[in-house]
Amino acid sequence: MARFRTLVLAPALVSMSLAAGDYDALIGVMGKAWPSVKTIAVVCDATSNKRAVAALTASAEGFRVLVVDVKGPQDMGKAVAALSGRKPDAVVLLAGDHVAGDGTAAASFIIQRMAVQKIPTVATTEAGVKQGAVLAIGPGTGGKLMANVKVASVVGVPVPPGAITL
């Protein structure tokens, strides 16, 4: 069953070992390109991804971070329903998540369902953009900003200046 949580930056999260900077560039680009984005969501196995969720939350200072906890592909329908009910401004894919990480069928499901609702999905890998995320920047892109123009058009968001388009 998908569980939905709202996380706020708390001392316990800050004290965890973080993957420093993994999400800084992504959050920075989103904030500049899409200033109306104030709430971001992530769908993942929260227990297995504590460090990544903490790193994302630390990078997303000033944003509200919603976490939809899933344990397997069977939870995707409930996860999308939770996202639909909460209407985040963007969804972030966690590259290493075994359930909904870049390249998984679950990530494709989320990307497609969010695009229909005009909610952009973003990633930190080139694979995420090739799969349908609107943009990616981070360790998995070699620091390059990449964008999927076709999906950006469908979702109705601008492609950030300087992005390599796929």
Task: State the residue range of the domain holding 42.
Answer: 3-122
Indicate whether 68 belongs to any domain. Answer: yes
The CATH number assigned to the domain holding 54 equals: 3.40.50.2300
How many domains are contained in the chain?
1
pLDDT for 22 equals 86
Cα 115 to Cα 11: distance, rounded to the nearest angstrom = 34
Cα 95 to Cα 139: distance, rounded to the nearest angstrom = 10
Indicate whether 143 belongs to any domain. Answer: no
Indicate whether 139 belongs to any domain. Answer: no
pLDDT for 21 equals 79
**Residue that the structure tokens 């329903």 belong to:** 81
pLDDT for 2 equals 55
* CA 83, chain centre distance (Å): 12
Low-confidence residues in the chain, pLDDT < 70: 1-20
Cα 70 to Cα 79: distance, rounded to the nearest angstrom = 7
pTM, whole model, 2 decimals?
A: 0.87
Indicate whether 23 belongs to any domain. Answer: yes
Indicate whether 149 belongs to any domain. Answer: no
